[in-house]
A and B are shown apart, each in its own frame.
Chain A
């Protein structure tokens, strides 16, 4: 009986401290929805109808919940990608491109090697995705450390290159017969099992959550993570402490790209089972917003990813039901990013709110 009491009070205090830490982000989300409501009203739509439709679409039935978590999965990967690079002081805004090349690589690995047993084929395809993403992170890393090229621009450029290059691949050499720009399906042995039929939710989400924990552990409990964080916070001091700053940066960007690539692989192996041109509705950008809203913390990231996944899946329902353009979701995401940008802004608004009320 006592043990139960201790456990619940521990959980309660842990939740309370979590909420205290998260309150700027929570307020940012609420403010974003508020401004979003203004936009909706100004363009002749009802915010209540839109938001309720979104909510019911996202969590209302089994299919909705499945969609929500399915959409959340790649976002967790891209958020972790951005987070890891960010902890090293780097801005990887090319996670979208890294996700896409990872997806294509996994698709190709899944298509070739038809007779391999699943327990080899799946890891192989996932690895292919991670390697491709890692390569897409290695290029800006070398450009930055050897040549001083700022990674914000190079990762962005490579993202465009990735989009066009994979589009070419899937429109010409690897195109499946038919009208759609996509590859042939992957072998059955490469498929990640679905876990909530009839939805598309796949085992990829387990991998995502596992990696969230792994990344956190790596950053907080290993010497390597220590070196990454030191480099991100104060490169000259890290250098004085014997840390090879350039090496840490390269590793951080490669790992960052690999994680995004892994996310793309997960999409191909678990959800689509083939590479489709344009399959990503912008998971890379979602990841950035989610990393920030999640307070750069694994639990926050998972929760925020579920929120954004809900926005995406609920958004589709909302569009069908109310006719509100789907892009309101992007607007909401942008507003969240903007409100989260400046913690001082939240504090300022809260103080002004208190004065009035």
Chain B
């Protein structure tokens, strides 16, 4: 019997990166197959090649035994392959039904959209696969878990037999994850083949029949889920024991650096995003904000940094009220910010490393004299020092930052924000998209800041990261702090429950 998918010797390079290195990958029909690896191991690239988004430099693809040239998603779709991406490919202002039929719209007399037929057919799918959702709702109004259902319905509508799920659980609460697993099992019962891309060992182990591990673009091995365990998989994935514990100096001083009282704010649409936030952070403390994305974390960070106006409440920095202060004033008062989107807010990609390093201090001594003239000599000296201290890998200080790798760019941002010697540093998703080395560097620097007396607010969707770094963990749910816990005294189950809005004992 031919395997559903066979990829032979697939090689794919991007400028400076060998993403897939002669990969062999086989998936049998009806199998739930996990593709496991760290961030940057090449999993998404491999599946993008399978789905026709990228062309491989070398190698062949066989679907149901026949060799295929996968030149576009349209071809993949025609062959029964569907992909649910990590970042949803849904058009926000269109309805669920419209998103599902996009590209394969049923038409009356070949001209007008036949929405009645659409609704009928999609409703049937919903029932068969346990994926209920309001077909007339607009996407932007749906929570993330439901949006994912729409994505799955979308590919099922096209008669997909082979489903590729790319990091499907990264945006879900633990409860939503079990709903998803129920749906995956229903799909398996109906004879569908599922490829499950993830870096989450536990999930892959629990749902997959077979698991293929990728490391740095190469296949490490393929094992049966039943025949292996967490430790073995972790070793295959990383090649060494993964250290998730950091040695932190115990906290001493009790000086409160940041105090937030009754903070309220609206989101982009004018709807309440923060509904009354209260917390404190002391010097030499890391407060981790845990929670599924979209519960107000972004708005909280923006309100604290001055990029968003608070509608009610107070923000006090060392007892000074900064609620109405501008971003500039907050920087001067000692707040540093590592933004969650480094391309949008962190760096000006056409500016050089040097120019980016002085952003925020560009109009003050020693970089600017007499209210205007830039002192290039001083700026250059400062840049060289930071390049050394933070091991910033760049050809020269004049290289535009768009030419640097993600990890190096994050180092530039960290260098800039940390060397201002802030009283409070707000780090938002600081290790997103970084490889292991860069991730460890960022985390160790944050701990270093904390040890030297800085207060750190860490917002991360990566629960492991929150766990490892935080002195206290605050869970955010629907614009409020649901609870604050000591990591030594709580469990992942309790946090998961709080993240999903449940109340704990």
Binding site for B on A (CB under 8 A): 221-224, 226-227, 229-230, 233-234, 236-244
Q: Note all chain A residues with C-beta closer than 8 A to B345.
A: 236-237, 239-240
Minimum Cβ distance to chain B for residue A148 (Å):
14
**CB <8 Å contact, B327 and A233:** no
B302 and chain A: residue at smallest CB distance = A240
**CB <8 Å contact, A240 and B362:** no
Minimum Cβ distance to chain B for residue A244 (Å):
7
Within 8 A of A (CB), among B300-344: 305, 307, 326-328, 330-332, 337, 339, 344
Check: B181 CB closer than 8 A to any chain A CB: no
**CB <8 Å contact, A227 and B362:** yes
Minimum Cβ distance to chain A for residue B354 (Å):
11
Minimum Cβ distance to chain B for residue A233 (Å):
5
- Give the B interface residue count (CB, 8 A): 30
**CB <8 Å contact, B331 and A242:** yes
Question: Do A242 and B374 form a contact, CB below 8 Å, given A230-B348, A236-B344?
Answer: no
Q: Note all chain B residues with C-beta closer than 8 A to A224.
A: 363, 372
| Complex Cα spacing A224 to B347, Å | 18
Check: B80 CB closer than 8 A to any chain A CB: no
**CB <8 Å contact, B373 and A221:** yes
A-contact 0/1 string along B359-383, CB 8 Å cutoff: 1101100011001111010000000
**CB <8 Å contact, A223 and B362:** yes
**CB <8 Å contact, B346 and A237:** yes
Check: B350 CB closer than 8 A to any chain A CB: yes
Minimum Cβ distance to chain B for residue A218 (Å):
9
Q: Note all chain A residues with C-beta closer than 8 A to B337.
A: 240
**CB <8 Å contact, A230 and B351:** yes
Q: 17 more A-B contacts (CB under 8 A) besides A224-B363, A240-B305, A240-B346?
A: A222-B368, A222-B372, A222-B374, A223-B367, A223-B368, A223-B372, A223-B374, A226-B374, A227-B362, A230-B348, A233-B348, A234-B350, A236-B344, A236-B345, A237-B348, A240-B327, A244-B328
B360 and chain A: residue at smallest CB distance = A241
> Can you list 13 residue pairs at the A/B interface with Cβ under 8 Å?
A223-B367, A224-B372, A226-B374, A234-B347, A234-B349, A236-B344, A237-B345, A238-B348, A240-B339, A241-B331, A241-B360, A242-B332, A242-B360
**CB <8 Å contact, B339 and A221:** no
Minimum Cβ distance to chain B for residue A297 (Å):
15
**CB <8 Å contact, A242 and B326:** yes
| Complex Cα spacing A220 to B307, Å | 27
Q: Note all chain A residues with C-beta closer than 8 A to B355.
A: 226
Closest 8 CB pairs of A and B: A242-B328, A223-B363, A241-B359, A223-B368, A241-B360, A234-B348, A240-B345, A242-B331
Minimum Cβ distance to chain B for residue A242 (Å):
3
Q: Note all chain B residues with C-beta closer than 8 A to A234.
A: 344, 347-350
Q: Note all chain B residues with C-beta closer than 8 A to A237.
A: 344-348, 359
Minimum Cβ distance to chain A for residue B20 (Å):
28
| Complex Cα spacing A221 to B359, Å | 14
Interface centre among A221, A226, A240 (most CB of B within 10 A): A240
**CB <8 Å contact, B328 and A243:** yes
| Complex Cα spacing A222 to B339, Å | 26
Question: Do A233 and B350 form a contact, CB below 8 Å, given A240-B307, A240-B327, A243-B328?
Answer: yes
Minimum Cβ distance to chain A for residue B310 (Å):
16
Minimum Cβ distance to chain B for residue A136 (Å):
26
Q: Note all chain A residues with C-beta closer than 8 A to B347.
A: 234, 237
| Complex Cα spacing A242 to B337, Å | 11
Minimum Cβ distance to chain A for residue B347 (Å):
6
Q: Note all chain B residues with C-beta closer than 8 A to A241.
A: 327, 331, 359-360, 362
Within 8 A of A (CB), among B246-297: none
| Complex Cα spacing A221 to B348, Å | 17
**CB <8 Å contact, B326 and A226:** no
| Complex Cα spacing A214 to B360, Å | 24
Q: Note all chain A residues with C-beta closer than 8 A to B374.
A: 221-223, 226
B329 and chain A: residue at smallest CB distance = A242
| Complex Cα spacing A24 to B146, Å | 50
| Complex Cα spacing A40 to B330, Å | 62
Interface centre among B331, B332, B337, B372 (most CB of A within 10 A): B372
Minimum Cβ distance to chain A for residue B369 (Å):
9
| Complex Cα spacing A230 to B376, Å | 17
Interface centre among A223, A224, A238 (most CB of B within 10 A): A223
| Complex Cα spacing A244 to B360, Å | 11
**CB <8 Å contact, B362 and A226:** yes
Minimum Cβ distance to chain B for residue A228 (Å):
11
Question: Do A227 and B350 form a contact, CB below 8 Å, given A222-B374, A236-B344, A240-B339?
Answer: no
A245 and chain B: residue at smallest CB distance = B327
Q: Note all chain A residues with C-beta closer than 8 A to B350.
A: 233-234
Question: Do A233 and B351 form a contact, CB below 8 Å, given A240-B346, A242-B326, A242-B360?
Answer: yes
| Complex Cα spacing A310 to B367, Å | 43
| Complex Cα spacing A243 to B368, Å | 15
Question: Do A230 and B363 form a contact, CB below 8 Å, given A238-B348, A240-B339?
Answer: no
Question: Do A239 and B344 form a contact, CB below 8 Å, given A221-B374, A230-B359, A233-B351?
Answer: no
**CB <8 Å contact, B326 and A244:** yes
**CB <8 Å contact, B359 and A222:** no
| Complex Cα spacing A222 to B369, Å | 9
B367 and chain A: residue at smallest CB distance = A223
Q: Note all chain B residues with C-beta closer than 8 A to A240.
A: 305, 307, 327, 337, 339, 345-346, 360
**CB <8 Å contact, A239 and B363:** no
| Complex Cα spacing A157 to B315, Å | 44
| Complex Cα spacing A224 to B374, Å | 9
| Complex Cα spacing A229 to B331, Å | 20
Question: Do A239 and B359 form a contact, CB below 8 Å, given A221-B373, A222-B373, A234-B348?
Answer: no
| Complex Cα spacing A234 to B351, Å | 10
Q: Note all chain A residues with C-beta closer than 8 A to B351.
A: 229-230, 233
Q: Note all chain A residues with C-beta closer than 8 A to B326.
A: 242, 244
Q: Note all chain B residues with C-beta closer than 8 A to A230.
A: 348, 351, 359
Q: Note all chain B residues with C-beta closer than 8 A to A227.
A: 362-363
| Complex Cα spacing A241 to B367, Å | 15
| Complex Cα spacing A240 to B337, Å | 8
| Complex Cα spacing A226 to B349, Å | 14
Minimum Cβ distance to chain A for residue B44 (Å):
26
| Complex Cα spacing A230 to B360, Å | 11
Minimum Cβ distance to chain A for residue B363 (Å):
4
| Complex Cα spacing A221 to B347, Å | 20
Minimum Cβ distance to chain B for residue A60 (Å):
43
Minimum Cβ distance to chain A for residue B351 (Å):
7
| Complex Cα spacing A223 to B330, Å | 19
A226 and chain B: residue at smallest CB distance = B362
